[in-house]
Structure 1
Amino acid sequence: MPLLTTPGSPPKAEAKTWTSLIKRVLIAVAALAVGVLLAKAFRGLDAVQDFLLTYPGHSALPANAPVGLPAWLGWQHFLNAFFIVLIIRTGWQVRTTARPKAYWTRKNTGLFKTKNKPGKISLELWFHLSLDVLWLLNGLVFVVLLFVTGGWMRIVPTSWDIFPNALSTALQYASLNWPAENGWINYNALQVLAYFAIVFIAAPLAAVTGMRMSPAWPKGNTLLDKAYPVELARKIHFPVMLFFTAFVVMHVTLVLSTGAMRNLNHMFATRDDAGWLGFWIFLFSVAVMVAAWFLARPIFLRPLAMLMGKVSK
C-alpha cells in the first residue's frame, strides 16, 4: 500500500492512509523505546559486563594495516553517495510510475546496431540504468584502490572475534551507551561487517539482479532464462535497495551523532581533527545531491538521453 494517496483519492481513503502511517510510526517508536530499556537492563547483568570487557567492540587489525584514510577515499565517498541516492530515487520511480511521461530508444547504429528492432524503455529506467553503469565503474575503481593500498584490511573481517565484538557493539548502541570511536585507526566490529556487506555482498547482488532485469539481458534464451528467472532477480533486487536505504539512514545518523566534525573530516577532508573543512565539503556535496535529486526530471533528462538514443512521449 502506498504511503501517499494518488490525486483524486476520496477523503476517507486519504485519512485512512495517514492514520495507518501514524500508527506504524508510533509502533516503531514504542518498539525502539522498549528495545532501549531491555538493552539497558540486559547490560546491567554481571555476565554481560564480563562479555563487554572481553569483547569491547573492536577486532584487532593485521600488523601491516594502513593507518588513516587516503585522499582518494574522500572523492570516492562522495561519488558513491551521489550515485546511490539517485539510484534509490530512480529505482523507486521505476517501481511506482504507472504511466511514464517519456520513453527512450537506443540508436541502432555503429557498435549498437542489431538485426532486431531496439526496445523502448521509460526515461526513468534509462536514467536508472545509466546511473547503475556509472556506479559500477566507480565501484570497480574503489575495489581496485582498496586492494592496491591495503585498505581492504579495514573493512574485511580477518578474525573470528569480529562477531562477538559486533554483538558487543550492537548492545552498546542499543543501550545508548555508545562505544568509543576512532575510525581514523580502526572501525568498530559492527561497522566492519556493515561495510563488508555493502561492498562485497549488497553491491554485487544489486548488479547481478539489475542486469537480469535490464534490457541488456539476452532475450529468447530459454536455458538461460530457466537457470536465472527474472522473478528471482526481482525478489532479490528490491530488498537489496531497502538494505541500501537503511544503511544510508543509519550511517548518516551515526556519523552526525558520534562526533560529527571529526567524522566529516575523516570522510571528506581525509584529516584527523575537528576542524570545519570536512563540514563545508560535506555541505557542498549535500547541495549537489539535492540539486541532482530535483533536476532528475524528464525536462532536464531529455537532452542527455537524446545523445544516446531517441526520446518520445
Structure 2
Amino acid sequence: MLALAAVGLATIVVAAVRWLIGLEPVAAFIAQYPGTYPLPEGAPVGLPVWLNWSHFFNLLLIALIIRSGLQVRRERKPAAYVTSKRTGHKASITVWLHTSLDVLWVVNGLVFVILLFATGQWMRIVPTSWEVFPHAISAGLQYASLDWPLEDGWVNYNALQQLAYFVTVFVAAPLAIVTGVRMSGWWPRGNERLDRAYPIEWARAVHFPTMLYFVAFIVVHVLLVFTTGALRNLNHMFAAKADDDWVGFAFFAGAMLVVGAAMAAARPAILSPIASLFGKVTAR
C-alpha cells in the first residue's frame, strides 16, 4: 500500500510540475536560468585520481559509520567492552568501532578539503555567484518534471548538485563531527561549565538527523548516478576519465565488494584483536 501511495503521489507531483513549467513565465524563467552557470576563470576540468580515491574511502567509511551508528542506537547488551589506554574511558566495542571509523573519516575529509582548495577543485562545489539559487530552482523543477537538466559533471555540476555537495561537505560533515565529539569519550569529563555551554542533549538532537541527511543524500546521489548516464558517471567517480566504457563500473563493482567484505568483518570476533591494540577488551 505504501509503495502504491508513493507512486501515486510521485505521479501527481510530476504532472503538477509539468503543468507549471508549461506556463509561459515559468518556461521563460527556465530558459533564462537553465540550471548551470559558468565557473570562475581557471576552474579545473575533470576529476583527478586523488578525488576518486577520497570518494572511495568516504564511501567505505560512511557505510560502516552509518551501520555502526544504528547498531549503537539499538544495542542493549554489548558483546564486549573496550577500555581506552589513553583516557581510561570504557565503551562497548560497537561504540569503539563507530568512534574509530569517525576518526578515519575526519582524516580523509581533511585531506580531501586541503586538496580541494590546493587544486582549485573547490570551484566545482562552492557557489561563486548568487545565480546559483535561481539555477538551482530551475534544476529542481526540471528534475521534478522528469525532463532532467543536461548533465556534464566532468566540466561543471548543475547548481542544485553544487548546493547539495556544498551543504554535505561544509555543513553536514562539520555538524556530524562537532556533535559526535560531544557524545564521545573524547569530550572532557567533569567540566560543568563546558557541559552547560554545550549540553549533550543538543548534540544528540542534531547528530541523528544529520545521519538521516547523509542517508537521504546517498540514496538520491546513487539514484541520479545510475539514471543520468551510469557508465559515464561511474568513470568520473571511480576511474578519473570522461569515457562511456566499463572501466569505472568495474572499479565500482570492486569497491562494493570491499564495502561488503568490511561490513561482514565488522563483528566482535574480528574487531576484538584490533581493539586490544588500543585498550583492554573485556567480555560483558
CA distance in structure 2 between the aligned counterparts of 1:28 and 1:298, rounded to whole angstroms: 39
Which amino acid in structure 1 is aligned with residue 9 of structure 2? A
- Of 112, 131, 147, 1:161 maps to 131
Alpha-carbon distance in 1 for matches of 2:239, 2:256: 15
Q: Which string of whole-angstrom CA distances, capped at 9 and with x for unpartnered residues, describes residues 232-287 of structure 1? A: 00000000000000111110110011000011111111011101111100000011
Q: Which has the larger radius of gyration?
A: 1
TM-fit CA distance, 1:33: 2.3
How far did residue 159 of structure 1 move?
0.3
What is the distance in 2 between the residues matched to 1:92 and 1:270?
Answer: 33
1:211 aligns with 2:210: no
Partner of 1:238: 208
- Of 55, 75, 79, the match for 1:97: 75
For residue 78 of structure 2, give the secondary structure of its aligned residue in structure 1. Answer: coil
Q: What is the CA-CA distance between 1:32 and the residue it aligns to?
A: 2.1
Task: Tell me how far 1:30 sits from its aligned partner.
Answer: 2.9
What is the match of residue 180 of structure 1?
150
Aligned partner of 2:99 in structure 1 is 129
- Shift in Å, 1:26: 4.1
Distance 2:104 2:40 in 1: 33
| Distance across 1 between alignment mates of 2:218 and 2:111 | 21
| RMSD (Å), alpha carbons | 1.1
Deviations 1:198-237 (A, max 9, x none): 1100000000000000011011111101110000000000
3-state SS of paired residue (2:128):
coil
Query: Residue 51 of structure 2 aligns with which residue?
Result: 73
Corresponding position of 1:257: 227
Cα separation, 2, equivalents of 1:53 and 1:88: 40
* Paired residues, number: 283
**1:188 and 1:122 mapped to 2: Cα distance?**
43
2:281 and 2:274 map into 1 onto residues whose CA distance is 10
- Superposition pairs for residues 256-275 of structure 1, below 5 Å? 256-275=226-245
TM value normalised by structure 1: 0.88
Alignment of 1:20-99 (within 5 A): 23=2, 25-99=3-77
Q: Deviation per CA, 1:127-168: give whole Å up to 9, x if none.
A: 000000000001000000000001100000000010010011
Query: Which structure is richer in relative contact order (CA contacts within 8 A, separation 6 or more)?
Result: 2
In the alignment, which residue of structure 2 is the partner of 1:14?
none
Deviation at 1:83, TM superposition (A): 0.6
Residues 1:301 and 2:279 are matched in the alignment: no
Letter in 2 for 1:204: P
Whole-angstrom distance in 1 between the partners of 2:12 and 2:100: 43
Cα deviation code 1:52-96 (max 9, x no counterpart): 100000021001111111111111110011111111001111111
C-alpha displacement of 1:119: 2.6
For normalisation by structure 2, the TM-score amounts to 0.97
Q: Percent identity?
A: 57
Structure 2 unpaired stretches of 5+:
none
